[in-house]
A and B are shown apart, each in its own frame.
Chain A
Amino acid sequence: MATFNSSVRKADNSTIIEVSGDLDAHTATQLEKTIQDLLDAHQFRLIVNFTKLNYISSAGLGVFMAFIDDVRTNGGDIKFSNMSEKIFNVFDLLGFPLLYEIYKEENEAVKKFNLPTV
């Protein structure tokens, strides 16, 4: 059985979700719950840090699709950072860079959220 873990921490204005292990059809529900809890707590500036993620499937990607409208309607965003080349390739293949901001380093995304909203 695939293992997956996520942990949440604050960085300035942003909430960082660090994901690790395999994010697939089995484990997608865990991440979904984590994000839903954050939205319930009115945390809308989310950064997903992929440093320790080993594998992502479409179901995993679907989790981000499921929340992006809600988050943006509330003036927030979901940004991505620290993807390995393998993980980035999957996002890139499916066209995610057109819809989501992807940063090399987490602090770049944090800085972006620190900017006054236009």
Chain B
Amino acid sequence: MPLSETPEGADTRTATQDSNSLDFNSLLETSKLLNSSLELDFILSHIIRTVMGKFLLRRAAILIVAPAASVGEPASYLLALGRGLATASSSPPTSILNPERFALDFQLPLLVPITTAKRLVGYLCLGGKPTAQPFSDSERTFIESLASLAASSIENTLVFRELQSLNRQLDQKVQQLNTLFDLAKKYNVASSRSEILKTLTQSISGQMLIGTYLLCFHQTGGAAISTVMAATIEVSKGIKPELFSNEVSHTALQSELETLFTFSVPAHLTAEQFPVLFAHKLRLAVPMRVGETTCGLFICGERLTKIPFTASDLEFLFSAASAAMSAVEQARLFAETLEKQALEKELGLAREIQLGLLPTNLPEFEGIELAATNIPSKHIGGDYYDIIQLDATHIFVAIADVTGKGVPASLLMSNLQASIKSFLLNYTPEGFDFAGMIGKINTVIYENTPSDKFITFFGGILDMEAKTFHSVNAGHNPPYLVSCDGEMRTLNAGGVILGIIPTLMPYESETTALTAGDTLFLFTDGVTEAMNKAREEFGEARVEEILKAGVKLHAMQILNEVISAVSHHEPAGEQHDDITALCIKIEPC
């Protein structure tokens, strides 16, 4: 088209062409800059400069979408760069929820969205031209082109920043895990409850920058289940003492704590639901869980830096608090086990001592057989027997059963044994008052024991020369005397059980003449009361049957017959009482 033909139009075209070429140059320059820079501020100020210079604008701003604090929250914008916005009345905000409103407030009539293919990343906000003319279509096209060139750079920068922030979050997470690891190591060796709780609060306050906190536990160890166990605040820091001293708020505080004990996850405390705790600047409650139970609470104020707790922070607090609670629980169980072991060791010692009190070697005599056995039950019991040679022709024989089991029974048994041995030190065959001695022992036992502790006792002195047996029965299972032809009687003469009442009436005694082939059988109720699965007692009848059938046997054989019958009767491992038996045989028939 010949230019000369329309000089006027040509002039116009040239002006437009010049303007267009300037636009293209600007865009080209911008595009080059954008590709070579990740510095957002540099890019933005370049864009602002370009539009302000080109259109002689006095006000302009760029808004950039803010990184979302959490998913689903409405988008907000940051004022990334502003020129000429400051007025006498107000300074521009840093965070903007409504860009249209912002544009209106700061007289920025042109609002150009900055978008990438994927999303809106911000707005270019421009003030009016000095001529007060609206922007023409081509001017708008230029501005939009500039905005779209900037968009991907802004996007890149945003992604870069998000990555940086993610990296930092990752570092923080690693740090939290390190702390949990450190705590776990410490808990493995820390033994006391206070040490564990100290480590917990120290680590949490360091990790989270918390200056106000308390630890609260349900008091345990109440005897009755129905006892209301109050929540007790055990550790606290930075909390005004009124929380603990104010009577009025006490009930309210208790009820708030009780509510929190029903929570299984960390909770933010609100003024509405937890007025007392909230008033003391406490903002977060973290349950300390062992399994399915909340055993304690860690309650704290906000961070000293005022930075809100993130979901990851809550996770950390929850893990740390619950790990501490488990460690406390384990420490308690460990201490209990140690205590139990110590007690068991002592009981074992007591039992050894007690067994040591029973005779180990029985004396031997011509024309007489002695056999004895004591099978202790799992617990220390109170059975006692003794065979003591008094002189060349006299033997003391005794069997006894102390009420109850355990240490008290064994103490009482050793008291009995000591008394007997002391009295027997004075033994002389002439005029020895055996029944009187039992009376004196009864008084000793009576005076030394509470009324619910007593001893069934049977004792006698065997005269080898005279072939007699002088005996006293103080409430014990009557021993059997079986003759060679199977005739059987029991030895009953005596008096009341030892230790119940002081000796008012002297104990009776009896002297039995012994003949060759006689069997004396002494036993405790562990023999006759041994129970089978059907809860039937072994009973006297079975003992008598064995004794009658065994008149021709040796003492040891008779004893073994009885014991093996009892152990057949009683299921293995279920012996509930000591089993003690003595068998004395005068010259086998």
Which residue numbers of A lie inside 8 Å of B, CB to CB?
A: 24-26, 28-29, 32, 57-66, 68-69, 89-90, 93-96, 98-99
What are 12 sample pairs from A and B whose C-beta atoms fall under 8 A apart?
Answer: A26-B189, A58-B204, A59-B179, A62-B204, A63-B206, A65-B209, A66-B205, A89-B171, A90-B175, A93-B172, A94-B207, A94-B209
Q: Are B305 and A98 in contact (CB under 8 A)?
A: yes
> A107 vs B302: C-alpha distance in the bound complex, in angstroms?
34
Going nearest first, the 5 A-B pairs with the smallest beta carbon separation are: A61-B206, A62-B206, A62-B202, A25-B186, A58-B207
Instruction: Name the contact of A99 in the complex, choosing from B182, B202, B209, B238 (C-beta under 8 A).
Output: B209
Please tell me the size bucket of the interface on B.
Answer: 20 to 34
- Pair A25/B199 contact, Cβ less than 8 Å: yes
From B208, which residue of chain A is reached at the shortest CB distance? Answer: A94
Please tell me if the beta carbons of A69 and B202 are within 8 angstroms of each other in the complex: no
- 8 Å CB contact of B202 from A59, A68, A89, A95: A59
What CA separation (Å) do A68 and B305 show in the bound complex? Answer: 14
Interface residue from B175, B189, B201, B307 paired with A62 (Cβ < 8 Å): B201
| CB-based contact A58/B168 at 8 Å | no
Say if the beta carbon of B178 comes within 8 Å of chain A.
Answer: yes
Indicate if the CB atoms of A25 and B202 lie closer than 8 Å.
Answer: yes
Q: Is the CB of A57 within 8 A of B203?
A: yes
Give B residues with C-beta under 8 Å from A. 168, 171-172, 175, 178-179, 182-183, 185-186, 189, 198-199, 201-211, 237-238, 303-305, 307
B186 touches A96 (CB 8 A): no
Give the distance to chain A from B254, nearest Cβ to Cβ, in Å. 28
Choose from A61, A64, A66 the contact partner of B207 (Cβ within 8 Å): A61
**Contact between chains at A99 and B305 (CB < 8 Å):** yes
Question: Which residues on A sit within 8 Å (CB–CB) of B307?
Answer: 95
Select A57's contact among B179, B208, B305, beta carbons within 8 Å.
Answer: B179
**Contacting pair A28 B209 (CB below 8 A):** no
What's the minimum C-beta distance from A107 to chain B, rounded to whole angstroms? 27
Shortest Cβ distance from A114 into chain B, in angstroms? Answer: 27
Residues of A within 8 Å of B171, CB to CB, are: 89, 93
- Contact indicator A58/B211 (Cβ below 8 Å): no
Residues of chain B contacted by A65 (CB below 8 angstroms): 205-206, 209-211, 304
Q: How far is the CA of A102 from the CA of B320 in the complex (A)?
A: 28
| B203 adjacent to A96 (CB under 8 Å) | no
For residue B305, which residues in chain A have a CB less than 8 angstroms away from its CB? 95, 98-99
For B306, the closest partner residue in chain A by CB is A98
Most buried by B among A60, A64, A94: A94
B contact residues around A62 at 8 Å (CB): 201-207
Measured CB to CB, the closest approach of chain B to A58, in angstroms, equals: 4
Judge whether B199 and A57 touch: CB under 8 Å. no
Count of A-B contacts with CB under 8 A? Answer: 83
CB-nearest residue of chain A relative to B190?
Answer: A25
**A58–B179 CB distance below 8 A:** yes
Kindly list chain A residues whose C-beta atoms are within 8 Å of the C-beta of B201. Answer: 62
Across the interface, which residues of B come within 8 angstroms of A66, CB to CB?
202, 205, 237
A28-B199, A61-B206, A93-B168 given. 17 additional CB < 8 A pairs?
Answer: A25-B185, A29-B198, A57-B179, A58-B179, A58-B203, A58-B206, A58-B207, A62-B203, A62-B204, A62-B207, A65-B209, A93-B171, A94-B175, A94-B206, A94-B209, A95-B209, A95-B305
CB distance from A50 to the nearest CB of B (A): 15
On whether the beta carbons of B175 and A93 are closer than 8 Å, the reply is yes
Q: How far is the CA of A97 from the CA of B303 in the complex (A)?
A: 14
Taking a contact as CB atoms under 8 Å apart, the answer to whether A59 and B209 are in contact is no
Contacts of B175 in A (CB 8 A): 58, 90, 93-94
Residues of B within 8 A of A59 (CB): 179, 182-183, 186, 199, 202-203, 206
Shortest distance between the CB of A25 and any CB in chain B (Å): 4
Q: How far is the CA of A66 from the CA of B303 in the complex (A)?
A: 14
Task: Collect the chain B residues with CB atoms within 8 Å of residue A68's CB.
Answer: 211
B299 to chain A, nearest CB (A): 17
Most buried by A among B178, B186, B203, B305: B203
CA distance A68 to B359 in the complex (A): 72
Instruction: Decide: A69 near B206, CB < 8 A? Known: A25-B185, A59-B199, A95-B307.
Output: no
Among residues of B, the one whose C-beta sits closest to the C-beta of A26 is B186
Which residues on A sit within 8 Å (CB–CB) of B198?
29
**Cβ-neighbour of B303 out of A24, A90, A95 (below 8 A):** A95
Bound-state CA distance A98–B209 (Å) is 10
In the complex, the answer to whether A69 meets B211 with C-beta atoms within 8 Å is yes
Q: Chain B contacts of A95 at CB under 8 A?
A: 209, 303, 305, 307
CB proximity of B201 to chain A, nearest CB, Å: 7
Q: Which residues of chain A are within 8 angstroms of B189 by Cβ–Cβ distance?
A: 26
- Tell which of A24, A58, A69 has the most Cβ of chain B within 10 Å: A58
Q: Complex Cα distance A68/B304, Å?
A: 11
Chain A's nearest CB lies how many Å from the CB of B545? 71
> Which residue from chain B places its CB closest to the CB of A95 in the assembled complex?
B305
Q: A64 and B206: CB pair below 8 A?
A: yes
Whether the Cβ atoms of A57 and B168 lie closer than 8 Å is no
Contact of A96 among B168, B179, B204, B209 (CB under 8 A): B209
Q: Which residue of B lies closest to A25 (CB)?
A: B186
Supposing A65-B211, A96-B209, A99-B305 touch, asked if A58 and B182 sit within 8 A by C-beta, the answer is yes
Q: Are A60 and B238 in contact (CB under 8 A)?
A: no
A24 neighbours in B (Cβ, 8 Å): 182, 186
A96 to B211, CA, bound (A): 13
User: Nearest A residue to B238 by beta-carbon distance?
Assistant: A69
B4 to chain A, nearest CB (A): 73
Which residues from A are CB-within-8-Å of B207?
58, 61-62, 94
What residues on A are CB-neighbors of B178 within 8 Å?
57
Best-buried of A59, A61, A90 by chain B (most CB within 10 Å): A59
CB distance from A27 to the nearest CB of B (A): 10
- Chain B residues closer than 8 Å to A94, beta-carbon distance: 172, 175, 206-209
Complex partner residue of B206 from A29, A60, A98, CB under 8 angstroms: A60
Say how far A70's CB is from chain B's closest CB, in angstroms.
Answer: 11
Distance in angstroms from A3 CB to nearest chain B CB is: 15
Report the separation of the CA atoms of residues A29 and B204 in the bound assembly, to the nearest whole angstrom: 15
